[in-house]
Structure 1
Amino acid sequence: MRLTIPKPRPRPRPVTPADAARPAVRVVTDSTACLPEAGAADGGPVVVPLQVLTPDGTRREGVDITPAEVARRIGAGQRLTTSQPAPEDFADVYRGLAAEGARAIVSVHLSGDVSGTVTAAAHAGQRAMVPVRAVDSRTAAMALGFAALAASSCAQAGADAVHVAARAREVAASSRCLFLVDSLDHLRRGGRLSAGAAALGAALGVRPILEIVDGQVTLVQRVRTRAAALDRMLALAVAHAATMERPGVAVHHLGAPERAAAAAGRLAEVLNVTPVVTPVSAVLGTHAGPGALAVVVAELGRHEH
């Protein structure tokens, strides 16, 4: 009779002070949120990168490619496309957060009408070790970013996953995401704007103001000059912020830092806030094109944990 010696069971990883400080509910978002700093190490949103498909390979935004490189490549005549993360990318993140002690995850993402990102997150969540709530923000850029940050604040305050997901939806729904582009061709080729809307916006001597409305890119107004279009876009943002208790404001650009800084300065003076200023994400920049300028306003007040 052979004696079988049982193999020793692996010891669980000891809980560190950093683990104890992390909230039980963690928030995941994607790179189109344009967050200036993810802050994942401090319990903030964990960012999953989308992909830019270039002639020489696939690049993960924020990892292998920057908005400045996207602007340079488009300016050189390259045709770029984009792709959502694979469900496995989300599964890896969810698995890591569960290992760190997360008991639930709220995954907040780019509008499902323009990307399959939230669908990939939901599919991965069905197989995760902990409950995952996938939230379609119905928006993008810092309208998504503000929603993810607000949700993360709720999670760090001890709120449960239902509350955290509701907070993400609340902030996203309060937002306006307005933007200008130098050409509508990139949006039209990428399928993010209908041919009819592109034709209306491309009339000679007209600058279109665009907005993400209920998840879709919509033509809001046509203005005769770039300067007038910028003035009108800022006026729309200011009017929306005026209805808010504590507006969060962001300005994005692709290859136009001076224009973004000037726009942010004007908003800061009128609204008495300090706007977040960042390049638009590489993926969003691929569809907007060089010279794009965006303004986001979202309500960050009127909430109790």
Structure 2
Amino acid sequence: MSIKILADSASDLSKKYYNEFNIEMIPLTVQLDGKEYEDGQTINPKTVYNSMRDGKSPKTSQVSASIFKAVFTKYAKAKEPLVYIAFSSELSGTYQTAKMMELEVKEDYPDAPIHIIDTKCASIGCGLVAIHAAKLAQSGASLDEIIDAAKYQAEHMEHIFTVDDLEYLYRGGRVSKTAAFVGTLLKIKPLLHVDNGKLIPLEKIRGSKKVLHRMLEVMQERGTDFQNQTIGISHGDDLEKAELLATMISDKFGVDKDNIVIDMVGAAVGSHAGPGTIALFFSNKPVK
């Protein structure tokens, strides 16, 4: 029996990866200019970034309960195993809504093989977990093997990222107004990571040229076995810088560029991170 992998749009994977690995995607919602859009389906991330450059503040909301119920019911009726690789519960209510709908669906289908994993990951960090699970599913791995591997990958997924303008993090409540103002004046680039699903400041770096080099230093300090894993880079409408980072990683660690996933930060996550964001994702333990 086939095992289906489900991800949400906060995994920031493009349709190419959903199609290649047979991953189903459900969207978070973005509100902009009084209209509501489905992330990854009815709004282009560039539209969000351009609006933010113009001073607008798009809002986001979690995946709706009705979408979860419809998807879970479909797989429950078919008795097809479903593994949902969820966006961090510390950054969205999406995981909690999914769990509520799982319980509701299982009232009618108590044996429904629905499994939900709180990755505590974001953006392509979550996407890499979904890809890994999907590859295992395609190779014929068992349900338990897929769940165990996905949990392992999520637990050991490092997120190292920076933003182009602290103002966007201020709007999202991540830094104080004073910190954003002073940081912008001093051209300070914050380096952040994800710890137990939460965004945590790591250090401050003055000058954008230094920040990519520092990201590689942190990668070397925290990571391992780079040549035998898939590395992720997501960007807020700055493909040139993302590709530069990929080249630096390839040169420094001997990583084949075919093993580096580069994608744009989607509309939902990008509404909080802003244009110019650069994020790096890798495993800190040998990949299972």
What's the TM-score once normalised by structure 1's chain length? 0.82
- State the partner residue of 1:29: 7
- How far residue 301 of structure 1 moved from its aligned partner, in angstroms, is 5.4
Q: Relative to structure 2, which stretch is displaced further, 233-242 or 285-294?
A: 233-242
The partner residue of 2:183 within 190, 202, 209 is 202
Aligned with 2:217 (options 209, 219, 235): 235
What is the rounded CA distance, in whole Å, between the counterparts of 2:20 and 2:188 in structure 1?
46
Deviations 1:42-90 (CA, angstroms, capped at 9, x unpaired):
7632111111111231111111111111111111221211100111111
| Between 88-97 and 48-57, the greater mean CA deviation after superposition | 88-97
Alignment of 1:1-305 (within 5 A): 23-37=1-15, 44-98=22-76, 101-128=78-105, 129=109, 130-191=112-173, 193=174, 195=176, 202=183, 204-243=186-225, 246-271=228-253, 272-274=255-257, 275-298=260-283, 302-303=287-288
Q: Distance in 1 between matches of 2:124 and 2:232?
A: 6
Deviates more, 1:166-175 or 1:235-244: 235-244
Contact 1:197 1:219 in 2 (8 A): no
Q: Is the 8 A contact 2:128 2:232 kept in 1?
A: no
Segments of structure 2 that go 5 or more residues without pairing to the other structure are: none
Query: What is the DSSP-based 3-state SS (H/G/I as helix, E as strand, rest coil) of the residue aligned with 1:126?
Result: helix
Q: Is contact 1:108-1:118 (8 Å) kept?
A: no
Deviation at 1:290, TM superposition (A): 1.0
Q: Is the 8 A contact 2:28 2:60 kept in 1?
A: yes
* Contact persistence 1:249–1:273 (CA under 8 A): no
How much has 1:299 moved relative to structure 2? 6.2
Residue pair 2:21, 2:135 contacting (<8 A) in 1 also:
no
Equivalent residue letter for 1:233: M
Q: Which residue of 2 aligns with 1:14?
A: none
Paired letter, 2:52: I
- Computing the radius of gyration over CA atoms, which structure comes out larger, 1 or 2? 1
* Aligned-partner residue type, residue 278 of structure 1: D
What is the Cα deviation at residue 273 of structure 1? 2.4
8 A contact 1:201–1:222 mirrored in 2: no
Distance in 1, matches of 2:133 and 2:97, equals 20
SS at match of 1:236: helix
Query: 3-state SS of the aligned residue for 1:127?
Result: helix
TM-superposition CA deviations, 1:164-219 (whole Å, max 9, x none)? 2221111111111111112233233324x254995699373422101111101111
State the SS of the aligned residue for 1:63.
coil
Conservation of the 8 A alpha-carbon contact between 2:233 and 2:279: yes
Q: What is the RMSD computed on CA atoms of the aligned residues?
A: 2.5
Instruction: State the one-letter code of the partner of 1:49.
Output: P
Q: Is the 8 A contact 1:38 1:47 kept in 2?
A: no
| Aligned equivalent of 1:6 | none
CA contact (8 A) 1:245 1:299 kept: no
TM normalised by structure 2 equals 0.87
User: What is the rounded CA distance, in whole Å, between the counterparts of 1:247 and 1:238 in structure 2?
Assistant: 14
Matched letter for residue 113 of structure 1: E
How far the C-alpha of 1:241 sits from its partner, in A, is 3.7
* Change in 2 beyond 3 A, CA 1:243/1:49: same
% identical equivalent positions: 24
Which ranges of 4 or more aligned residues in structure 1 deviate by more than 6 Å? none
Residue 138 of structure 1 aligns to a residue whose secondary structure is coil
Distance in 2, matches of 1:209 and 1:200, equals 17
The answer for unaligned runs of 5 or more in structure 1 is 1-22
Closer, same or farther: CA 95–44 of 1 in aligned 2, 3 Å: same
Alpha-carbon distance between aligned partners in 2 of 1:200 and 1:78, rounded to the nearest angstrom: 18
Which amino acid counterpart does residue 26 of structure 2 have in structure 1?
V
Change (3 A) 1:131 1:208: same
